[in-house]
Amino acid sequence: MKVIKKILFVILGLVAVLLLVAVFIKKDFHVERQVTISKTKAEVFDYIKYLKNQDHFSKWAMMDPSMKKYYRGTDATPGFVSGWDSQVKDLGKGEQEIKSIKEGERIDYELRFIEPYPSKNQASFFTSAPDSSHTNVVWAFDGHMNYPTNLMLLFMNMDKMMGPDLETGLNNLKGVLEK
């Protein structure tokens, strides 16, 4: 009985330490990648502002050809919603909504994941033109993990987990627009 009590105290002590550590670690993360596309800024922006076009370049949209999709509103305008429901574990169920558009410069989305883990995050596309025939596109993702789930950020490198998928999507976008 004494051994069981000691084991329980050790476990409770570890849990208490982890919960204390979670108070002091970050709760937010940011991941972004960039690509340069040999097209004008207007051409690139006019393509990426349509959420439905992500089906042609986003790695996540291409991972499940049988994914169920739905749309609400007018694409390329604030309030437009693109939803998905997939049996693929990494995709789950959710939707994204265009929150704002600064024409030619920036598009902001809210991502609402429903399954497998409910959360809300922000994503953005930024465009800039280094010259008249090229466009830099930045795809950024900002997330937040509430206490105590933020403890997972000690063990998860979100940049390494999500960065390659953003990079793949941007390279796909470059391929679509430059062909």
Closest by CA to 152, choosing from 140, 144, 164, is 144
Q: What CA–CA distance (Å, rounded) separates 16 from 10?
A: 10
Q: Which fold would CATH assign to domain 27-178? A: Alpha-D-Glucose-1,6-Bisphosphate; Chain A, domain 4 (3.30.530)
pLDDT for the residue numbered 159:
94
Mean pLDDT of the chain: 94
* DSSP class of 46: H
- Residues lower than pLDDT 50 in the chain: none
The continuous run of DSSP H or E covering 31 comes out as strand 28-37
What's the pLDDT at 156? 86
List the one residue out of 175, 178, 166 whose CA is nearest residue 61.
166
| 47, 148, 165 from 138: Cα distances, Å | 14, 31, 13
The set of residues, in sequence order, having a beta carbon less than 8 Å from that of 134 and lying 6+ positions away, is 36, 37, 38, 39
pLDDT tens digits, 67-82: 999 999 999 999 999 9
SS3 145: coil
- Residue 152 has what pLDDT? 84
Is the entire prediction scored with pTM above 0.85? yes
How many angstroms separate the CA atoms of 108 and 28, rounded? 17
The continuous run of DSSP H or E covering 93 comes out as: strand 93-102
**Using one digit for the tens of pLDDT, what is the confidence trace for 34-56?**
999 999 999 999 999 999 999 99
Q: Look up residue 75 and give its two tokens.
A: 């694409």
CA torsion sign for 22, 24, 25, 26 is positive
146 in Cβ contact with 177 (< 8 Å): no
Question: What pLDDT, on the 0 to 100 scale, is given for residue 150?
Answer: 84
DSSP code at position 149: G
Domain ranges of the chain: 27-178
